[in-house]
Amino acid sequence: MNTIAFKKILFLLIFFSSIALWSQDRGRISGKITLNNNAAAENITVTLKGTSYSAVSNQQGQYEIKNIKPGTYVLRASAVGIATIEDNIIVVINTTVVKNFTLSESQEQLDEVVIQEKKNKYKTGKISSSLRLNTPVLEIPQNIQVVSNQTLKDQQIISMSDGVIRNVSGAVRLEHWGDMYTNITMRGSQIQAFRNGFNVVSSFWGPLTEDMSFVDHIEFVKGPAGFMLANGDPSGLYNVVTKKPTGETKGEVSVMGGSYDFYRASADLDGKLTKDGKLLYRLNLAAQKKGSHRPYEHNDRYVIAPVLSYQADDKTKITAEYNYQRANMTEVGSFYVFGPESRGYASTPRDLTLTQPGLPDTKMNDHSAYLMLEHQINSDWKITAQTSYFKYLQKGYSSWPSAVGSLKNKEGETLLKEGELIRNVGIWDAESTMYLGQFFVNGKFMTGAVSHKILGGVDLGNKEYIADWGQSHDLDTYDKPFNIYAPNYGPPANGFPDFDRDTPLKERAGGIITSKYAAGYFQDELGFFENKLRLTLAGRYTYVSQTSFGETSSDNHFSPRVGLSYSIDKNTAVYGLHDQAFTPQSGIMRNKESIKPLTGNNTEFGIKRDWFDGSWSTTLSVYRILKKDELTSDPDNKPTEVFKIILGEKRAQGIEFDVRGKIIDGLNVIANYAFTEAIVTEVAPGVTNIKKGDVVPGYSKHTANAWVNYTIQDGKLKGLGASAGFTYLADRATDNWGAGNEKLPNYFKLDGGLSYETGAVKFTANVFNILDKYLYTGSAYSFGDVKSYYWQTEPPRTFRVGMSYKF
């Protein structure tokens, strides 16, 4: 790190540290809240009535309110479903007033309150601590959507790329990658993948999509959040939050089966390792065998995910976590189908595959480990330090045709007829290593009538991705090509590949991508008029050094953030936001030009509302994003080339609307709509195949989704539920820049299901693609003078049935 970068980060840390020392001529109140059996009462809100002074009791029932202006107040303890207690109290300069409360409620009554809250299956008012903000979703000046764990269960979602995006406005997937990589596009660009607050993207290819067995919920953050969550794309990110110990002794086992030889079993064990509850554990296990509607394809998964947490004392907690995923699957690319230009998309049966039986599996081993220390200095200040290690190992193959008919040689002789092609298999061995570290502090204090919520910290990262994709082998010959209209899956005419794997991967790697970064950030959320008006001021300084295919570059950038949120009433807030992003990019330029990090600006306005005491919520947002120096694939690439070009400037803008929550008892709804428009506004010098005003590939202008679940609450049929949902995509842009190409048709998928829950047992059955439509995504493809189309089909009507047992 250069000297200037070090000084700027050091300055931010010193500045933040000085804030924590601010306190004079003020008093404080502390105490403990217990139940009528002397047990500690957690999550009880304590406030000074008529002011913004407040605190929430911790697991030991303790609370503390600091930096209080001297005077006489009414101290109030309250929570949903309990009797409120009030008492007069006098605060004196430099004095701590101790005030304890005993609630008349029993532990069973408080547990019942928790149970009632959990009946809202699809809506949550809080975000995880890994997003670092101690602010309710309603008050955050940004569009954040949370997909709950119950949503994942009801929809029988088994991985991050298995229908999660239907629950968020404007999110689409371009290519399915065989459930290997998720690759979600939102607001006109591919968004960043995060896990527990860490950016886990080491290259365009990755990370391995998460199995849902160890996932608690998923947070979609729209717009930049790089100032607090490391480097990120200005279009947004998704943050996968893994399951942690709850302190309750419980467990759940599940089995599931379905169409095309799908079998799955999982277990979730949660409990205490010591009688005093200080040492807790959680263990998630899963095993899956999964076939495909295309023959000779499969995707098998195995998961082990243990977590330990230790409450060292009342204020300090240590959590250690390890996630292991193993995937054995058909080679990437087998699900692509290529057809002649004259026939357009979907000109073959949807069960056609280009894979060759007998090719070895592609095998992936994904390891991630986390260590987190949380220390509650007092009721107002908390520090968090965490580190993570990611190791991804892949040994496999990628298939892609080396020639597509109709094709002629220079003499005009026909080499390949329409519908014939030469299947090619390339090696794809890869290794990704990441060391990531974070340290941040959350705090709050008052200056007069103005409240302050402070967030500050540092991020450090070291990432390396290496891969060998330089070896390839044609399975077919021009004398015996593969014909998509009369496929022959016998022994390939040119035999199977025999690639060099004796040479170490680093020596044969065709691509090496590294990224090292260090950053410091600071945010102050100022609350005015008893926190009805909230002003967010933040900044992040980032230094990054990166290497892409032998080209090394470094840069630094300061990214400001300004947000404003106003509570019209306790259930309604309007907000505005201006934010910037700074993201390293990887790739290789044809002219060897060095690659600059991507920079982007986001301006967003919105209104959020909780309805009927927070039972369900709505979010309406409008935004405009400008991105500069973004890399995109070179339109002049041959099939085997990976060159990038600097696009210039891109603008994405749109409207998004989300609804989620409990409408009435038993009726839960998720619905959303998004209008997205992304075009090129400036073209970089030397770029000739892309013009100003061109539509950016890879998104849908209109997306709409809905999922409705109703469960009978009383009577003989109590516990019987029904669900239905749809996804609609209109005006779909294809996956590349080709001018004049056939557009993708509109997309409509209808799903539904039944469930029955009695006691500890629940049965769930879902049918997907009820209308049995031929669904696909794809794009135009050029090979020399030959024009063709490729597409990937989704399964026809399929079903999944499952049973779970809680104990």
425, β-bridge pairs: 399, 473
The single residue listed with the structure tokens 């913004």 is: 52
Q: State whether residue 177 is helix, strand or coil.
A: helix
- What pLDDT score does 636 carry? 64
Q: In sequence order, what DSSP letters do the residues of 117-159 get, joined into one string?
A: HHT--S--S---GGG---S-GGGSSS-EEEE-HHHHHHTT--B
- What pLDDT score does 107 carry? 52
Q: In CATH terms, are 129-242 and 250-468+493-775+788-795 the same topology?
A: no
Per-residue model confidence as pLDDT tens digits over 762-803:
999 999 999 999 999 888 887 666 678 889 999 999 999 999
- What pLDDT score does 594 carry? 66
CATH number for the domain running over 3-118: 2.60.40.10
Q: State whether residue 8 is helix, strand or coil.
A: helix
Phi, psi of 387 (to 5 degrees): -135, 155
Answer whether CATH 3.90.1150.10 is correct for domain 250-468+493-775+788-795.
no
Neighbours of 551 (CB within 10 A): 15
Q: What is the largest CA-CA distance in the chain?
A: 99
The single residue listed with the structure tokens 């209080």 is: 68
- What pLDDT score does 231 carry? 58
Q: Which residues of the chain, if any, have pLDDT below 50?
A: 12-23, 106, 108, 112-118, 230, 639-640
Q: State whether residue 164 is helix, strand or coil.
A: helix
Neighbours of 272 (CB within 10 A): 15
Q: Token digits for 17?
A: 């540290």
- What pLDDT score does 685 carry? 74
State the distance between the two ends of the chain, measured CA to CA, in whole angstroms: 52
Q: Token digits for 354?
A: 């280009």
Domain boundaries, the chain: 3-118, 129-242, 250-468+493-775+788-795
CATH H-level superfamily of 129-242? TonB-dependent receptor, plug domain (2.170.130.10)
Contact 299, 330 (CB under 8 A): yes
Q: Residue 246's closest CA among 59, 415, 387?
A: 59
676, β-bridge pairs: 654
153, β-bridge pairs: none
* Dist. CA 227–CA 602, nearest whole Å: 13
How wide is the angle at C-alpha 778 spanned by C-alphas 777 and 779, nearest 5°?
150
Q: State whether residue 335 is helix, strand or coil.
A: coil
Q: Token digits for 255?
A: 């089995």
* Dist. CA 633–CA 698, nearest whole Å: 12
How wide is the angle at C-alpha 602 spanned by C-alphas 386 and 728, nearest 5°?
95
